[in-house]
Amino acid sequence: MDATTDAGAWAEHMLRVLQTGIHARLVGCSVVPPLPRPKNTLEAMSHLSVLLSECEDLLAFEQVEKSLQQENFVVKEDGNDAFNYALAVQAVHALQQELHAVREDDADPDATIVASPDTHPWHKRVKDTIQELEDRHADEMAQIYAQHSDELEALRSEHAADEAQQARDHHDQMETVRKTAHDELESVRAGLHAEYTASIEEMQRSWSTACASLSRTIDDLHSQVASHAQSMAPVSKRIYALHEVIDALAAERMAVQVEVRTWRAKHAAVTNDMASLHEQLASRQSELAIRSSRLNETERQLHEVQREMECTAQAQADMDEMQARVAAAEAEVTGLRDQLRALEPLCAERTQLASEVHELQKLVSMYKDSVTHAQLEHERTQQQLEKAEAQRFALEQELAERETELKSQRKSRAPRASSHDQATRIAELECELNAKAAEIEDGDTRLLAVMKENKRLLSQLKALKSDSKRALQDVTNAKTVTGIPSSPTKQRMGIMRSHVA
């Protein structure tokens, strides 16, 4: 089915659907009386476009009628609205007449407020506009149909040329195959005939030689019998012997005849085989003809699919590139599969190494946590040390200021200050000085303790770093020379856990 037939069937189907819908909308019955089939696709498309326009006009008419019923309609001098309204009025009147004819009733139950088209002053102008639009639409449809007809004719001619070229190529291939088979059959037949002819000629030559020797022997015997009549007794014996020889030769002749008959039977069998080969060749030629017809049908379907898909050169290039990529990917997958098969014996080693690496990763994470904790302790200790040093420096400055103040007070000895007050002040200053000295000593003690703790944490951090390096080295060098994976010893792992603890 070509594109024109498909378009015609679609247009006829849509025409039937629209006619059924309009009839059911206006008449109230979904059963449409039999309608004449369109002559061609152009007529169906024209009728379909007219029906679609009528549907739009009916919708516009329904809106106008609703507006009139609501008494809010204002008549405008618009050509398009007037045209649509006129078409709607014409369609309604035509359908009302059809309904009246179907129901066979004098009264019109579907009478509307729409008057006759002749009452409008612009009826003639609407008719002229309709005629002009119909002529323009007919010209456009004729141009479109002619254009599509030319394109369809070009496609058909191209398809016919392709099919003719394919038929010629297929006929040439079939002729080549037939000639090759015929040449092979003729060569086999000539070889068999030459072999059988050579065998028969060889037997005939041997038989002729035997007959000639026998005739010569008989002639010699006759001459000897004629010349030596007196020696009949020994001659008779020799004659008996010759008769025996003749009988033996006759038996040999019979054997040769049997062999000749055997060769003739073989020749007949070979002839039958050749006939069966001819029959097989004919059957294969018929099968080849059937397959060629199937091939033509498949090629036709393939051309249809190709025309439907509208493949381009770029798509074909992309397909080739994709096929090349798929082939490369398949080759790569094959290589990876081979590598995977080669690496299958290492699965157990990999599993063991994975478990050990997991354990070592846990230890390393513990080491990292310990290192982080040690670094935090070191930073906190460093901050405390700096704070203690700042406090010590402040206390030393305050102590120096108090000593200076005490010396100045001792030198001045103000007359208005009593000796008791001065002694009390000196005692208070000495107490404060002693307290500050005790605080300085406590700060020094704490500073020494913090420095010791800092040294201990630094040594522990160095030990953890060295242990982590050894663990990473063990993970890196997980295989020995023999291929057996090596793991850290239990003693080293115990040492690591003790360091972490």
Every domain of the chain and the residues it spans: 3-120, 177-310, 313-342, 350-500
Q: Using DSSP, state whether 340 is helix, strand or coil.
A: helix
What pLDDT, on a 0 to 100 scale, did the predictor assign at position 75?
46
**pLDDT mean over 65-69:** 70
- The yes-or-no verdict on residue 486 having pLDDT over 70 is no
Q: What is the pLDDT of residues 309-359, one digit of tens each?
A: 665 556 566 667 777 777 777 777 777 777 767 766 666 666 776 677 677
Alpha-helical regions (H) of 31-122: 41-69, 79-103
CATH class belonging to 350-500? mainly alpha
Residue 71 — left, alpha, or beta (φ > 0 → left; ψ -120 to 50 → alpha)? left
371 by Cβ neighbours in 10 Å (0-12 / 13-18 / 19+) ranks as middle
Number of other residues whose CB lies within 10 A of the CB of residue 50: 15
- Of the given ranges (203-207, 311-315, 396-400), which has the lowest mean pLDDT? 311-315
Which residues fall within 8 angstroms of residue 280, CB to CB, at 6 or more apart? none
- The yes-or-no verdict on residue 484 having pLDDT over 80 is no
What pLDDT, on a 0 to 100 scale, did the predictor assign at position 491?
52
What pLDDT, on a 0 to 100 scale, did the predictor assign at position 2?
47
The C-alpha atoms of residue 47 and residue 55 are separated, in whole angstroms, by 12
- The yes-or-no verdict on residue 118 having pLDDT over 80 is no
Q: What is the pLDDT of residues 19-45, one digit of tens each?
A: 666 666 665 555 555 556 666 767 766
pTM of the model: 0.22
Beta bridge partners of 479: 485
Q: What is the pLDDT of residues 257-266, one digit of tens each?
A: 888 788 878 8
The C-alpha atoms of residue 455 and residue 435 are separated, in whole angstroms, by 30
Contact 103, 63 (CB under 8 A): no
Beta bridge partners of 485: 479
Q: Name the one residue in this structure whose structure tokens are 């630094």.
A: 458
- The yes-or-no verdict on residue 179 having pLDDT over 80 is yes
Number of other residues whose CB lies within 10 A of the CB of residue 8: 19
